[in-house]
Structure 1
Amino acid sequence: MPPTTRNTSLKALQTRLRSLQEMFNDICRFLNTVEEETIATRVSVRLEKLEELWEKVNEAIIDIEMHDDYTAEDNTYSNQRSDFGNRYYEAKSILLEKMKELEGRSDTNAITQGLDLMKQSTIDHVRLPQIKWQTFDGNIDEWLSFRDLYLSLIHHKTDLPDVEKFHYLKGCLKGEAKALVDPLPITKGNYQIAWDTLMKRYNSKLLKRRQIQALFEIPTLANESEILLQALLEGFERSIHTLDQLVESAENWSS
């Protein structure tokens, strides 16, 4: 028993255990009232709390059983540990299933929600034409346009909670990009991890190499032509402009 609990009375430890068990009972009562429209954040918060309680209840029972004043007259705490374990696994399975259901629902409606958000945004900025929502499937050529639009419409929204941003992010990803962040549950803390994962994968040397490759893929002039020369110049300037966004200024390139 840690020094901090060794000097705690047995009665205080038992009171602490009852308090933890009551918090667990609150989660169980929530499971009986989960409705169709329950938002994912309510489920996610209780799932995190359940994990915390699992550790604290077990620690509390151990502290009681190891206390100098405790006399093991029956199997009271052993039975409590077993009962709590069974209820914990049952509660966790229900919460995980509900979370999976809500995440699946968010994947199908996140784009619609994003459109609603953008619609409100355009109202805030006078009556501008509606912006077409963009999805991203891992195609490196589409990363910059997706990144800049997402940063503007979602990521930099200070009034939008991170957990909701994560809903929008998952809803507009497909294929390879979606697979990168799918293992992460939709929680406040995981949003930044998911975004950093995408930035590390696509806002990287891979994108720089792709733009340099594009320079070498610009078709050569088969004959003298003002139109073809203009097209070549525009293609070159487009790749240079993109590289300027990714690396240092052109006069200092090492690429």
Structure 2
Amino acid sequence: MQELLQELQINEKQRAADVLIPILRGKIEELEEKLDITHNTDGDTTSGIVPLSRSVPMRKNLPKTELKRFDGSPSQWIPFWDYFRTIIHEDSHVPKIEKFSYLDSCIEGKASAIIQGIPISESGYDDAIDLLLKTYGETKRLIRTLNRELMSLQISESFEHDESLYLKSEKIFRQLISMNQNVEDGMYYSNLEGKMSPYVLDKYCVIKDAEDNDDWDTSKFRNAFSRAFDTSDI
């Protein structure tokens, strides 16, 4: 009889443990998540995740990589959106509210003003994405904006400015080409030729004269412009 009572007591304790253990595990996971969130939002950006600008917890199992920022500059839109879309937007495991938190944390400047005031919710995230795509993602409008940006690049006054001119123009060219825009027209490279500093322009002209000058196009211009920085080419 005594043995039966002991066995019943053991079984009762086992059933209680079976109930309590999952609860305790859940509490531990919640505590670990809170500690992780606190660590990531105490101003420590070295973890690779952009700090939140609105107080919605982020998932700790997302890639520890720094999200690109977007301030409304047309030339930044494609690299920003391609990155954000791949890492956050198309991840079906991330709730939309958390996606909105990530979006809000890396949008700034003019772009931030566009989505300002939209509540952080599932429908709010959809509205914010729609507004950004309508403003920056419409192909024809983006092509026109990038063309204007390319034509309005500042005239270079030094070798360092020429390098900046080259890098900015390359960034725009790559985006235009990615949208199937023909950039081989003479207006593209002739405009940029007039923006080079005399020093780099002289080197560029030497390279150009040594090649097929009669069949010049933007691809050859881009190659010659990059080589104009390399003294070993002269």
Q: Which has the higher contact order (CA 8 A, sep 6+)?
A: 1
Q: Going by fraction, where is helix more abundant, 1 or 2? A: 1
Report the TM-score when normalising by structure 1: 0.40
